[in-house]
Structure formats: structure tokens, C-alpha cells
Amino acid sequence: MRRPFPTALIAATVVLLALATAVQMQRDRIYAEGAHVDEDVLYVQSPTLMRKAALSFSSVMADVYWIRALQHYGYYRLHQEAPQRYRLLYPLLDLTTALDPYFNVAYRFGAIFLSEPDPGGAGRPDLGVALLEKGVASTPDRWQYYHDIGFIYYWHLNNPTKAAEWFKRGGDLPGSPWWLRTYAAVMLTKGGDREASRAMWSNLLQTADNDWVRKSARLRLMQLDALNQIDELARVRDEFKRRRGRLPESWEELNKAGLLRGVPVDPTGAPYTINFATGKITVAGDSKLYPLPTEPAPGQAAPQ
Amino acid sequence: MRVIGHIAVNVFRESVRDKVLYNLVIFAVLLIAVSLLLGQLTAGQDIKIIKDLGLAAISLFGLFIAVFIGIGLVSKEVERRSIYSLLSKPIRRQEFIAGKYLGLVLTLLVNVTVMTAAYYAVLGSMAWVAGGWFLPAWEAPAMDPALLKAIAMIFLQLMMVTALALLCSTFTSPILATALTFGLYIVGQFNADLKHFETIVASRPVALLARILYYVLPNLSRLDVKTQVVHALPVPAGYMLWSAAYALAYVAALLALATAIFMRRDFK
């Protein structure tokens, strides 16, 4: 014969559990814990050891490290005052890609996170290239890695010669898009040219299969628009200086001189700033476009 | 054959009575919960991660069933002394071992089949929410039939582990047998390292011993194609067939050894 269901005991369990929850909430209210989410510790640093220890679960462990890398990146993206920013980003991505050597997004996104200048990334394009080169070693026929390495050399390292070399290698792969070879030619003839950059980012915007990359490409195109607008504003400033023999002391002065209307704003709507001592015009520190990419001066040789 | 069938069905019934199939509920809840949480955490990699997690869970749950139930197949009968009444009936010892083995394999087959169905259901629902069966950002369709290749290989691994557990349980205590089986499972993930031992040691006899161990110990790592399948990399049918042939031959060898040891035991 079956015993009757102990309803009273079940009810008591629920009540006691509710009591424990209430006590815990009260304790947490009185003795609040710090809100530091990002644990700045990497217990296992060796990719080889981790790969062995994961047994046949290396893919799922790679996913765990990928999520940790994203959390690490997200934490420092939000906490711009934190010291030693993005310190673990490369080791985490290195572990992720060692555990799953075909983790395409970890290479491509990871390289962007590493290459972007602070505050948007670790400001380490060299590590971005190193991560992608690891991707090339594991999947040599994936043209996207060659494309991304070329892009980092061009955009972050101002090295059109190396960029052309990687674009050409990618363009020579079977199945790669036709425009990759044209990039190589453009790099060699017009390295550092702003319109060449615009063509590349536009292409990326149209061909990207991911919202994050599309968003990044839109931002870059707005930065290029801002660079064009800054050139326009510099011409206005120079005209003022030609007429008055000195730099303007405010945007208002340029308005009064009839050279400008209102306070100029960048494509995100944030006002441009002008250093009235040196005349340098740039985007504001709180603009989404800050910092603008550095461009080699006309005739300046790109660093090799 | 009928005797083997009876024993196998009994093992399956017993595992159902022991609530072994409850793990299917845990599996389904785990997958559904993770699929709901992942969207915010993975930068568009939720399908890939659910594929990885589902395959890992099928493998891990199956491993625990294979080891813990496999160990009890013989030792439980001995502990409960039911082995005496069983062997007094017209059951040959080799039939006993084969029936027990096939019963657990049947349990695993049911488990893996139901988990696979739940796995595809979760992937299908995620694809439906995402708005397409094969979005450009994915390397493979959400409900990629190629995932079945990885699941088939996991099942072969589980068949080998079950045979190992059964073998160990014929000659030692349950605790030692569990430790031994898990040990052999871990060795099976590493034994590819033994194959090229001659490149790191100068001694020829040691290299030869390593090569012999490579062939004698279970080679489970070559049956793991989860990563390739998730990334839509090719897994040739020939490779699958050779791997299946290897697993079946190895299982047959282990069962033969288990039977030989079991036949020598005195239950009078």
C-alpha cells in the first residue's frame, strides 16, 4: 500500500525556503557586497593544458571562455575608469581558440576587440593580428582572416604595404571575393587615402553577416564623414585667420564673421570642439566617434 | 538468442524502474533554460553554443549512465545473490554477459534518441525565434542533419565505455571498477599521444611498448567529431564506417574477455 503524500512536510519545506530567502535578502541589504563582476583571475593560463584537461568537451569549454571574454570586454567597456583595462582579453581569446580552433567569430570579433583603441578596445592591433594569424594557421582557406589582418594593418597600424600583402594573399584564395584583389591594388597606389577607406567600410557594411560588424562599419563611415567635415571647418578657420590675422576665439566669432552658421555638430549630433590656442578641430570626448582614426599626413611614409 | 533478449529487456526495465530516464528531463530543462539565457551573452553565437552544449550533454549524461549502470550490471546480481538463482536456470554465462550488455545499450539508445529529439526541438525553436532555418551568420543550418553524425559517434563511444564498465565489474569491486572505467575513459582521450611516442623517446623498446598500448587501449578521441560537425566541416562516410567497425570490434573483444573472466568465477 502506498503511503499518503506528506502535504504538511512539503508545505513546511516551501515556508522554510521562503524564510531562508527572506533572511538572505535582509543580510544582503545590511551587509552589501561589492558589485565587481569581472573576476580578474585566469586560473588556467596554458592553452595546451586546458585543451588536454577538457577531454572531449573542448568545444563547450571554448564556449565558456568565449562568454568570459565577452563579459571581460563588456565590463571594461562600461567601466572606463578601471585600471589595467582588457588585461585578460588576449589570454581569454587565446584559450577560446585553442579549445576550438574553428571558432570563426572568436577570431574575427576578438581581433576587433583587441585592435580598437581605448575605450572601445584594448588598443593592441598587434595582438589582433596574432589572433587572426592563429586562425589562418587553423583554417588557411578562410579568406575573411586575410581580409581582417589586411584591415588591421591598414586602419590601425597605418601600414598599407603590409595590408596590400594580406589582401593579395586573401584574394588569391579560391572562393574569395573579387574586390579583395582590388583592395591590394588600392593599398599600393593610394595607401592612407580616405576614399579608399570609405569604399572598404561601405563594402563591409553591405557584406557583413553580423549586426555588430555592421554597426562598427556605420560608425567608421560616420568617422570618415566627420574627418571631411573637420577639413571643411579647418578651411573656415583658416579663412578667418587670413582675414583677421589670428585664430578665432569661439564658434560664435566665426558666426559673426558670416563664415559659419550655429555650432557645428558631428554626424552623431555632438558639437565639434576647437582648441582656440592651436586651432585644432576634433570631435568631443563624449562623442560616439571619439577618438577619430589617425591618418598619415600627405606624402608621409607609412610605418613598416 | 531468446535468453539474451529476455535478459536485455529486463535490464532495460530495471533501469526504467531505477528512474534512470529522469536524466532526460534534466537534459531538456538544461537545454531550454540555457537557450533562453544565451541570447544576451554570446554575441550571436547562441545556436553554435546550444549545438556544443547539447552534444556535450548527450555525451556526458550517456557516460554517467554507461559507467554507473554498467558497473552494477554484474556486481548488483552478485551482491543481491540473485546471480545464484539466475545461473541455476538454463542460462549460459556468455548469454548472461551479452544480455546484460545489450540491455544497457538499449537503455542508452532510448536515452540518446529522446535527447536527440529534444535537442532538435530546442534548435528548431531557436531557429524559429531567430527568423530562419539557416541565417547567413551561421556556419550550418540550425537543425543540421549532420549533427546526427556526431551523435552516432557519441553512441559508439558509449558502447565502448559500457563494455569497459562491464568488463571491470566482472573482476573487481564496484568502487574500483568505477575508478578503472573512468580512468580508461580518460586514457582513451589521450592515447593518440602514444602513437608517435618514438618522436620523443630514443629507446626503441619503450616506443614499441607505447605503440602496443596505443592499439590495446581504447581510442575514444578519434570518435569525437563534435567540433567538426558544429562548424559544418566534412566528416567522410568512410571515416564513420571505419570508426564504427573499430568500435564494434573493440566491444566484441571486451565482451569476450568479460565472458572469459566471468566464466572462471565460482558462484557455487
Q: What average pLDDT values come out for chain B (268 residues) when binned by 10 residues?
A: 89 86 81 75 81 93 92 86 82 91 95 93 90 82 95 97 95 93 93 80 86 91 94 94 96 95 81
Q: How many domains does chain B have?
A: 1
**Residue A304: per-residue pLDDT:** 35
3-state secondary structure of A245: coil
Q: Which residue of A has its CA nearest to B54?
A: A60
B56 in contact with A at a CB cutoff of 8 Å?
yes
Q: Using a CB-CB distance cutoff of 8 angstroms, which residues of chain A are in contact with residue B190?
A: 52
**Residue A192: per-residue pLDDT:** 62
Nearest to A134 by CA among A120, A118, A114: A114
What is the pLDDT confidence band of residue A93, given thresholds at 50, 70 and 90? very high
What is the pLDDT confidence band of residue A297, given thresholds at 50, 70 and 90? low
In degrees, rounded to 5, the angle at the alpha carbon of residue B179 between the alpha carbons of residues B174 and B184 is 120
Rounded (10°) CA dihedral A261, A264, A268, A270: -120
Distance CA A159, CA A83 (A): 30
CB contact under 8 A, A109 and B220: no
The residue among B205 and A37 whose pLDDT is bigger is B205
Q: Which residue of A has its CA nearest to B45?
A: A105
Residue A136: what residue type? V
CB contact under 8 A, B53 and A109: no
Choose the weakest-confidence range: A38-47, A71-80, A131-140: A38-47
Nearest to A210 by CA among B256, B135, B37, B172: B135
Q: Using a CB-CB distance cutoff of 8 angstroms, which residues of chain A are in contact with residue B151?
A: none
CB contact under 8 A, B48 and A63: yes
Question: What is the C-alpha radius of gyration for chain A, rounded to an integer number of angstroms?
Answer: 26
Residue in this structure with the C-alpha cell 592612407, named with its chain if needed: A192
Beta-bridge mates of residue A281: A274
Nearest to B71 by CA among B222, B181, B190: B181
Choose the weakest-confidence range: A82-96, A218-232, B124-138: B124-138
Percent of chain A surpassing pLDDT 90: 36
Nearest CB to B43; choose among A56, A57, A212: A212
Nearest CB to A59; choose among B41, B52, B186: B52
User: Is-contact B115 B56, C-beta < 8 A?
Assistant: no
CB atoms within 10 A of CB A59: 27
B233 in contact with A at a CB cutoff of 8 Å?
yes
Distance CA B46, CA B34 (A): 9
Residue A243: what residue type? R
User: Is-contact B97 B259, C-beta < 8 A?
Assistant: yes
The residue among A129 and A208 whose pLDDT is bigger is A129
Distance CA A221, CA A266 (A): 12
B198 in contact with A at a CB cutoff of 8 Å?
no
**Residue A301: per-residue pLDDT:** 42
Query: Residue B73 has which C-alpha cell?
Result: 550490471
**Residue A5: per-residue pLDDT:** 72
Q: What is the mean pLDDT of residues A121-142?
A: 95
Nearest to B154 by CA among A32, A304, A179, A59: A59
Cα distances from B215 to residues B186, B193, B194, B220, B239, in angstroms, run 15, 12, 9, 12, 18
Q: What is the mean pLDDT of residues A199-217?
A: 78
Q: Which helix (H) or strand (E) holds B98?
A: helix B93-130
The residue among A66 and B264 whose pLDDT is bigger is A66
Residue A231: what residue type? D
Percent of chain A surpassing pLDDT 70: 90
Q: How many helices (H) and strands (E) does chain B have?
A: 11, 0
CB contact under 8 A, A212 and B49: no
What is the pLDDT confidence band of residue A276, given thresholds at 50, 70 and 90? confident
pTM, full prediction = 0.77
B183 in contact with A at a CB cutoff of 8 Å?
no
Q: What does the buried/exposed string (b/e) look like for A160-172 if buried means 16 or more CB atoms within 10 Å of the residue's CB?
A: bebbbbbbbbbbe
What is the pLDDT confidence band of residue A190, given thresholds at 50, 70 and 90? low
CB atoms within 10 A of CB A192: 19
Distance CA B219, CA B242 (A): 13
B136 in contact with A at a CB cutoff of 8 Å?
yes
CB contact under 8 A, B56 and A60: yes
Q: Which residue of A has its CA nearest to B153?
A: A56
Distance CA A109, CA B34 (A): 22
CB contact under 8 A, B59 and A56: yes
What is the pLDDT confidence band of residue A195, given thresholds at 50, 70 and 90? confident
Does position A36 have pLDDT exceeding 60, yes or no? no
Does position A26 have pLDDT exceeding 50, yes or no? yes
In Å, how far is A53's CA from the nearest CA of chain B?
A: 10
User: Is-contact B187 B85, C-beta < 8 A?
Assistant: no
3-state secondary structure of A281: strand
Nearest to B42 by CA among A63, A98, A103, A86: A63
**Residue B252: per-residue pLDDT:** 95
Domain that holds residue B6: 2-264
Nearest CB to A57; choose among B45, B56, B230: B56
What is the pLDDT confidence band of residue A77, given thresholds at 50, 70 and 90? confident
ipTM strictly over 0.90?
no
CB contact under 8 A, B56 and A59: yes
In Å, how far is A269's CA from the nearest CA of chain B?
A: 28
What is the pLDDT confidence band of residue A302, given thresholds at 50, 70 and 90? very low
The residue among A10 and B248 whose pLDDT is bigger is B248
User: Is-contact A272 A282, C-beta < 8 A?
Assistant: yes
CB contact under 8 A, B45 and A59: no
- Mean pLDDT, chain A, as a whole number? 85
The residue among A188 and B219 whose pLDDT is bigger is B219
In Å, how far is A147's CA from the nearest CA of chain B?
A: 17
Distance CA A122, CA A73 (A): 9
**Residue A208: per-residue pLDDT:** 72
CB contact under 8 A, B56 and A211: no
Distance CA A80, CA A117 (A): 12
Distance CA A151, CA A213 (A): 13
Nearest to B1 by CA among B102, B89, B82: B102
Residue ranges of domains in chain A? 40-139, 141-192, 218-283
Q: Using a CB-CB distance cutoff of 8 angstroms, which residues of chain B are in contact with residue A56?
A: 59, 157, 189, 220-221, 224, 226
**Residue A299: per-residue pLDDT:** 47
